[in-house]
Structure 1
Amino acid sequence: MVRNYSDFFPARPKNDGPDKNTSRLLSLGWQPYFAQQISSDELTATPPVRVVEVHRNAFHVVGEGLDEAILPVRNATVGDWLLLDRAHPPSSRVLERQSLLKRRAPGTDRQIQLIAANIDTVFVVSSCNQDFNIARLERYIALAFEAGIDPVIVLTKSDLASDPENYVDQARTISNSVPVVTLDARGDEPGLKLAAWCKPGKTVAFLGSSGVGKSTLTNALSGTEDIATQAIREDDAKGRHTTTHRQLHVVPGGCLVLDTPGMRELQLTDVAAGIDDLFSDLNELASRCRFTDCRHETEPGCAVQAALADGTLEPGRLNRWRKLKAEEAFNSASLAERRSKDRAFGKMVRSVMKQKKQKTWGLE
């Protein structure tokens, strides 16, 4: 029988401080959503732990009275909650996620790479310099929308820009529902300006290219210099990789912060809904076209082309919309094709094994 949240977390005595048996899990982001997936027997036999660090050959997991390295669990990623199988950790059960960030992995094998799970807010970080790129920001935001995560654009190094408001204005054109924050990644500004999203028990993530200040921001929130940082190359504003693996940091105030390596390539797949949310204005225009299969090129009665003509739609935004939709459709179709072939191969293997068993039984 699945119990409710209160069964796992008894009420705290009044005026007696936090419950020592539950404060650790709560500080790691434990919520009713996860507790409702566990039976009383599972809770005793397989205690919940959260993946706080991912390395090539090991996971770092933390729970109530637990802090250890285990062998990786298949299809799990940083931020996941596991029911730890002490006898065989790789068999630990992954609890259903509230959110999942993923991308098509670099390379040609069309695998999906899991980035992080159970994130509440994504801070999409860019610098007010040559790194700033509207198309790249849109990719990250589409990724967040698809995962059901609230995105916030964070612009760093505004103090070094001759016209920082130009970057702010460009960022605000991406989506009316995405806040834009400018700050100095060093000092007190991150803690003050990001406080609304960095509440106790919440998990936030910094995503962006190398050198935009993700690790510096994490250090600022934690009040330490534990994460190494490096300066960007002055000639092209490109960053150097300082974070080499994904890791959750518990910072003062109870928030968990995910620092990730910079991603030079962000191929989108299975994010059609996220792209629709990001370009809701274009979808609304398209719904007013005369023909339902309008390609928004030379068709009569095209509302998109009319918006281009009267200046209410910027050509670059339309081009980026088309490019993202085409890329997403291609990648999703490719993955679907590969999955179909994998299922067919598995079916063939099972059929062959079944025939071998039947022949063996026939000899007996």
Structure 2
Amino acid sequence: MTLPSLGWASFFEEQLGPDDSGQLPLRVATVHRSRMTGLSTIGTVRVGLPAHVNTAQFAVGDWVLADPQSHLLIRRLERRSLLERQTVGARVPQLIAANLDTVFIVTSCNDDFNPARLERYLALANEAGTRAVIVLTKADQTPDPAPFLEQAAALQRGLEVVSVNARSPDAVGVLAPWSGVGQTVALIGSSGVGKSTLLNTLARKSEDAKQATGAIREDDAKGRHTTTARSLHKIETGGWIIDTPGMRTLHVSDVSSGLETLFAEITERAPDCRFRDCTHMHEPGCAVQAAVAAGELDLARLDRWRKLHNENLQNTPVETGARGNRKSGPRGKFR
């Protein structure tokens, strides 16, 4: 393997200084509670961790520098992109994947298809600064996948949507534009929608190396968790893919710019409202409500924007205290 084939780019090269000469660049491949592995031009190595280092500070896809002999971690390079999420009760976000080019948001053509949930994933991907592609699986198991494709494409301006049979080798060609040499993608979505099956197909996993897969339950269309950790895998087309555990509950936090991109038709009209702090609910001179009345904006879409906007306000920490002694804390209940 070469560094460019692993995803190395000028962005990372420019971070190296004279003191870094001779150090070994590693791409983090797995992160566990007390250990990490990395990929390099010499293959897969276990990364030695100094006593003060916590693996929670690293994400699969990170680039780090290590001692070439002992493989002891020296430092992590700045990230080009970072996919993260806030979990209930956690003080800091959970790192999902780093240095991604594309996020494949995977859902299936059945009762698991949920536009409101897909919008949460899109906000997350937008905030991370990555391209989002919605991948519809199980298209071969529905009489007509067209309605699913149309609904997904309408969720965000310019959004790319494809449908695949996750078990078919044809999926490799469909997703090839985003998974070429040196490119990195991440699979996110609910459990049971076919993420692990798709990974096995894209990576041409042998029977003994395949990721475990689980079907969606027939009674509620919900899946069982089969992937329990994040990991980096080589794709047949030359790129890299990061598999992630299913995320059925996804809270939004600190994703203001991601929501602006997601709801561009609302973002663009807001400056025309009479009041700067318009909530687009009942204020006179609201340009957004005028668009709804004129049939230019879907009311259900506006309702979903309001829910995510309010949730983001409530969950995003705010800085308080005197200058030089600021602390981040919860915003409190949104009114």
TM-score of the superposition, structure 1-length normalised?
A: 0.82
Query: 1:308 corresponds to which residue?
Result: 292
The 3 A distance-change label for structure 1 pair 255 and 91 is closer
TM-superposed deviation, 1:71: 5.1
Answer yes or no: is the 8 Å Cα contact 2:179–2:235 preserved in 1.
no
The answer (yes or no) to whether the contact 1:57–1:71 under 8 Å persists in 2 is: no
C-alpha contact 2:65 2:73 (8 A) present in aligned 1: no
> Displacement, 1:24?
2.6
In the other structure, the counterpart of 2:197 is 216
Counterpart-to-counterpart distance in 1, 2:72 and 2:264: 42
Q: What residue in structure 2 maps to residue 323 of structure 1? A: 307
Give the percent of matched residue pairs that are identical in Structure 1 and Structure 2. Answer: 49
Letter in 2 for 1:82: V
Aligned AA (1:39): G
CA distance in 2, matches of 1:301, 1:119: 42
TM superposition shift of 1:343:
6.6
In structure 2, the residue matched to 1:100 is 82
Match of 1:251 among 230, 235, 249: 235
Consecutive unaligned residues of structure 1, counting only runs of 5 or more, are: 1-22, 346-364
User: CA 1:110–1:267 in structure 2 vs 1: closer, same or farther (change >3 Å)?
Assistant: farther
- Deviation, 1:253, is 2.8
Q: Equivalent residue for 1:184?
A: 165
Q: Rg larger in 1 or in 2?
A: 1
Give me the CA root mean square deviation.
Answer: 2.3
Q: Do the aligned partners of 1:157 and 1:185 also contact (CA within 8 Å) in 2?
A: yes
Partner of 1:55: 32
**1:62–1:43 Cα change, 3 Å:** farther
The structural deviation recorded for 1:87 is 8.6
Instruction: For residue 122 of structure 1, report the CA deviation from its aligned partner.
Output: 0.4
Which of 112, 124, 127 aligns to 2:108? It is 127
Residue 197, structure 1, aligned to residue 181, structure 2:
no
Structure 1 residues 337 and 60, CA gap change in structure 2 (3 angstroms): farther
**How many Å separate the matches in 1 of 2:17 and 2:276?**
49
1:250 & 1:43 partners in 2: Cα distance?
28
8 Å Cα contact 2:64-2:73 kept in structure 1: no
**Which of 156-165 and 316-325 deviates more?**
156-165
**Per the alignment, do residues 216 and 330 of structure 1 end up closer, same or farther by CA in structure 2, a change over 3 Å counting?**
same
Distance 1:165 1:66 in 2: 44
Structure 1: distance between partners of 2:79 and 2:200: 27
Distance 1:189 1:33 in 2: 33
Structure 2 residue ranges without an equivalent (≥5) = 329-335
Cα distance in structure 2, aligned partners of 1:24 and 1:92: 21
Q: Which amino acid aligns with 2:93?
A: I
Give the aligned partner of residue 356 of structure 1.
none
> How far off is 1:58 after superposition?
1.2
Question: Which segment is superposed worse, 180-189 or 285-294?
Answer: 285-294
Match of residue 263, structure 2, among 270, 274, 279 = 279
Q: CA deviation at 1:233?
A: 0.9
- Residues 48 and 73, structure 2, Cα contact 8 Å, conserved in 1: no
2:129, 2:70 → 1: CA distance? Answer: 32
Deviation at 1:85, TM superposition (A): 4.2
Match of 2:273 among 273, 279, 289: 289
Task: Give the whole-Å Cα distance in 1 for the aligned partners of 2:259 and 2:297.
Answer: 17
What is the aligned counterpart of 1:68 among 37, 41, 45? 45
CA distance, structure 2, for counterparts of residue 178 and residue 337 of structure 1: 38
Counterparts of 1:27-38 in structure 2, within 5 Å, are 27-38=5-16
Structure with higher helix content: 1
Write the distance in 2 (CA, Å) between the matches of 1:337 and 1:320. 30
Matching residue within 65, 74, 80 for 2:62: 80
SS of the residue 1:326 aligns to: helix
TM-score by length of 2: 0.89
Cα separation, 2, equivalents of 1:333 and 1:324:
15
Structure-2 separation of matches of 1:295 and 1:222: 47
Conservation of the 8 A alpha-carbon contact between 1:122 and 1:144: yes
DSSP 3-state at the match of 1:265:
coil
The CA deviation string for residues 251-300 of structure 1, in whole angstroms up to 9 with x for no partner, is: 22311011111012222222111110111100112222222222212222
